[in-house]
Amino acid sequence: MAAASETHAPTVEEAQAFVTAAEERLLRLWIDAERAAWVQSTFITTDTETIAAQAYEKVIAANVELAKEATRFKDLELPAEVARKLDLLRTALVLPAPADAEKRSELTRIATGMESVYGRGRYCPEGGECQDLGDLSRTMASSRDPDELLETWLGWRTVSPVMRSSYERFAELGNLGARELGFDDLGAMWRSAYDMPPDGFRAELDRLWDQVRPLYESLHCYVRARLNEHYGDDVVAADGQLPAHVLGNMWAQTWSNIYPLVAPEGADPGFDLTERLKAAGLDQREMVRYGERFFTSLGFEPLPGTFWERSQFTQPEDRDVVCHASAWNIDQIEDLRIKMCIEINAEDFSTIHHELGHSFYQRAYNQQPPLFRGSANDGFHEGIGDTVALSVTPGYLVDIGLLDAAPDVSKDIGVLLGLALDKVAFLPFGLLVDQWRWRVFSGEIPPARYNQGWWELRGRYQGIAPPTERTEEHFDPGAKYHVPANTPYTRYFLAHILQFQFHRALCAAAGFEGPLHRCSIYGSEAAGSRLVEMLEMGLSRPWPDALESISGEREMDATAILDYFAPLQAFLDEQNQGRSCGWSSTGP
């Protein structure tokens, strides 16, 4: 191959043939790796870990080799589709490895190993029973005892310090791989997957964050005041940052579990979806059926039988699994699966819709050539199921018989606040995880300041502080799944902006008039066909084209989330009158 390329200038035909062969080769390896990873994630042992690492290593080796070879066509005038595929070869990997075989296998072993450590993680209190993340999360959600919350919060963070040195080496080797492909570091490589220069993408994020920050700060201010009333100054001060352990979630990334503590007087909608799901006697599989029925109401075909046979809906009792929810596209045609440890509650009802969004997207783009079987950008993949879940309104719950009667419109503020505790509270968290990783990969946050850098960003973006002193003995970023699993996180920030943009557009397509938070697109084939059209494009066009096809807009735009929460913003402004909002922070 090398000899041929040196003897004559490459031609367009050669580039085309190269891309076709590359797609065939990668597709086979992707499928093998996906199968191996499925077995590892649903049955963690040293063997499944090794098998998964070996399969992943083959994908990485082939992809890196092809990306390097692709550079020989860079000066050719190519058909747009071929040029796009050659570009995608360079950014398809989230984990590039150096060409050196030993380093490559070290890197894949570290990567698979960290995910297993996380999946197997347990907190074993002295003299007590060991608890996994599911057990600990239930306590974080329901306990109102600050001591118990603190112990639980600290307990989960005993799992991550062993990953610290692995992560350091991981960043080193990942960077080497990214540099061999011509990127400054792994963070720059991740930022290059958005059809714009990496710095431009950074600026886009700043712009979007500036749009939504006032709404977040209002919510923070309101929640802080209410928690201060509930817990008193010793646990939650009336000013400054919020302590990370009292927000109802292990990472303080969504706060709806503390809704009862902050419910607005006189506007509480008076129903609790968790309680309704339990009262309806639903099991895990039936909950997923509800999600599927939403999609079929839009005109999608039902999921294949194999989805129902092969998915993991419940946590097995006899083995370790990675419980973190995910959607799998095993054969890239129709062997779709989800893997969850579903609990009968509102949070998982929403996560089911999230995961099914991935599944329906995957099936919609299965007619595309292999390199285009992806979402327009990764925020799109994360945003589809959430868009559908925004249509899980009280009115919809009445339609499907889970609720007897919709609350009066005077209770809208309660419904909106409940949703904002998830969607608005999440925004700064969605942004900061990669702000940390990008700084780690660039060297701006060196290993000696891993934890300090993490908490500075938590303070700056979220206004959240650790409940007790943290040091460099700890490795708190490693206690969040996506860090050991090496899943980029900015996608979720984008998804939280985009899903409101999609919702606004689909509600318009459905002919809905009225406030966005009361719109449900359930049963609207007009909205469904608008959605399908975008999903079927996969990754074949730059994402602004996909966004335009669904919404007529070519820019990501936070005005949709602001419109959606406009009534809540007015309520928060009124409630926060006379309070001094905001917090101060230190660091980068």
Three-state secondary-structure class, residue 282:
coil
- Rounded to whole angstroms, the Cα distance separating 351 from 356 reads 9
Q: Find the binding residues for ligand X8Z in span 495-554 (CB under 6 A).
A: none
Q: Which amino acid is at 334?
A: E
Q: How many residues contact Zn ion, by CB under 5 A? A: 1
State yes or no: residue 118 binds ligand X8Z (CB under 6 A): no
Which one, 249 or 569, has the nearer CB to ligand X8Z?
249
Which amino acid, residue 407? P
- 423 interacts with ligand X8Z by CB under 6 A: no
Neighbours of 461 (CB within 10 A): 21
Computed on alpha carbons and rounded to an integer, the radius of gyration of the chain in Å comes to 24
C-alpha 12/C-alpha 565 separation (Å) is 51
Q: State in angstroms the smallest separation of the CB of 231 from ligand X8Z.
A: 25
Taking the alpha carbons of 98, 99, 102, 108 in that order, is the dihedral positive or negative? positive
Task: Determine which helix (DSSP H) or strand (DSSP E) holds 329, and give its type and residue range.
Answer: strand 326-329
Strands 464-465 and 242-243: parallel
Could you tell me how many residues of this chain bind ligand X8Z (CB under 6 A)? 5
- Which residue from 360, 381, 261 is spatially nearest to 301, judged by alpha carbons? 360
> What are the residue ranges of helices labelled H in 400-519?
412-442, 450-457, 490-509
Smallest separation, CB 480 to ligand X8Z (Å): 7
Angle at 394 between CA 388 and CA 395, to 5 degrees: 85
Could you say whether residue 141 binds ligand X8Z (CB under 6 A)? Answer: no
Question: Measured from the CB of residue 354, what is the shortest distance to Zn ion in angstroms?
Answer: 6
Hey, which residues does 339 pair with through a beta bridge?
A: 312, 326
Q: Which is nearer to ligand X8Z, 351 or 569 (CB)?
A: 351
Containing H/E element for 225? helix 198-231
Could you say which of ligand X8Z, Zn ion, none residue 492 binds, taking C-beta under 5 to 8 angstroms by partner kind?
A: ligand X8Z
Instruction: Give the integer Cα–Cα distance in Å for 233 and 227.
Output: 9
Residue of this chain nearest to ligand X8Z (CB atom): 325
CB of 104 to Zn ion, least distance (A): 27
Token pair, residue 248, equals 């109802």
Nearer to Zn ion, 132 or 382 (CB): 382
The Cα-based distances of 153 to 139, 211, 572 in angstroms read 9, 32, 29
- Name the residue whose CB lies closest to Zn ion: 382
Q: Give the nearest distance from C-beta 484 to ligand X8Z in angstroms.
A: 13
Q: Which of ligand X8Z, Zn ion, none does residue 557 bind (CB under 5 to 8 Å by kind)?
A: none
Nearer to ligand X8Z, 225 or 431 (CB): 431
Among 325, 400, 562, 566, binds ligand X8Z (CB under 6 A): 325
Give CA–CA dist 516/564, Å, rounded. 5
Closest to Zn ion by CB, 328 vs 512, is 328
Cα separation of 422 and 255, whole Å? Answer: 6
Tell whether residue 321 is a contact of ligand X8Z (CB under 6 A).
no
The token pair that represents 465 in the structure block: 């502080």
Q: State the Cα–Cα distance between residues 172 and 203, nearest whole angstrom.
A: 26
Would the CA dihedral through 277, 282, 284, 290 be positive or negative?
negative
Which 8-state DSSP code applies to residue 462?
I
* Cβ 386 to ligand X8Z shortest distance, Å: 8
Q: Is residue 492 a contact residue for ligand X8Z (CB under 6 A)?
A: yes
How far, CA to CA in Å, does 518 sit from each of 25, 54, 522? 48, 49, 12
Three-class DSSP category at 243:
strand
The beta strand positions in 29-117, using DSSP E, are none
Residue 57 C-beta: closest distance to Zn ion, Å: 25
In the range 214-243, which residues lie near Zn ion by CB under 5 A?
Answer: none
Calpha distance 483→477 (Å, rounded)? 7
The nearest distance, CB 64 to Zn ion, in angstroms, is 26
CB of 325 to ligand X8Z, least distance (A): 4
Site string for Zn ion, 361-400 (x = CB under 5 A): ---------------------x------------------
Rounded Cα–Cα distance for residues 67 and 22 (Å)? 10
- Nearest CB to ligand X8Z, comparing residues 412 and 434: 434
Q: Which is nearer to Zn ion, 320 or 382 (CB)?
A: 382
Instruction: Choose, by CB under 6 A, the member of 137, 351, 377, 451 that binds ligand X8Z.
Output: 351
If contact means CB under 5 to 8 A according to the sort of partner, which of ligand X8Z, Zn ion, none does residue 458 touch? none
In angstroms, what is the minimal distance from the CB of 352 to ligand X8Z?
10
Catalytic positions are: 324-325, 354-355, 358, 382, 482, 492
Q: Determine if 437 is a binding residue for ligand X8Z (CB under 6 A).
A: no
With CB under 5 to 8 Å by kind, the binding choice for 437 among Zn ion, ligand X8Z, none is none
Residue 325 contact among Zn ion, ligand X8Z, none, beta carbon within 5 to 8 Å by kind: ligand X8Z
Residue 326 found at the interface with ligand X8Z (CB under 6 A): yes
Nearest to ligand X8Z of 185, 382 (CB atom): 382
Give the contact letters, 129-168, x = binds to Zn ion (CB under 5 A), - = no.
----------------------------------------
Say which DSSP state 95 is in: S
Nearest 5°: phi and psi at 267?
Answer: -125, 15
Question: Residue 360: which of ligand X8Z, Zn ion, none does it interact with, CB under 5 to 8 A by kind?
Answer: none
23 closest CA partner among 538, 368, 327, 377:
368
Nearest distance from C-beta of residue 357 to ligand X8Z, angstroms? 10
Out of ligand X8Z, Zn ion, none, which partner does residue 116 contact, by CB within 5 to 8 A per kind? none
Is residue 222 at the binding interface for ligand X8Z, with CB under 6 A as the rule?
no
Nearer to ligand X8Z, 70 or 163 (CB): 163
Distance of CA 450 to the CA centre of its chain: 22
Contact status: 360 vs ligand X8Z (CB under 6 A): no
Q: Select 350 or 451, whichever has its Cβ closest to Zn ion.
A: 350
Q: Which is nearer to Zn ion, 382 or 422 (CB)?
A: 382
Token duo for residue 397: 């719950």
| 354 sits near ligand X8Z (criterion: CB under 6 A) | yes
In terms of phi and psi (left: phi > 0; alpha: psi -120 to 50; beta: otherwise), the region of 76 is: beta
* Site residues for Zn ion per CB under 5 A: 382
* Site residues for ligand X8Z per CB under 6 A: 325-326, 351, 354, 492
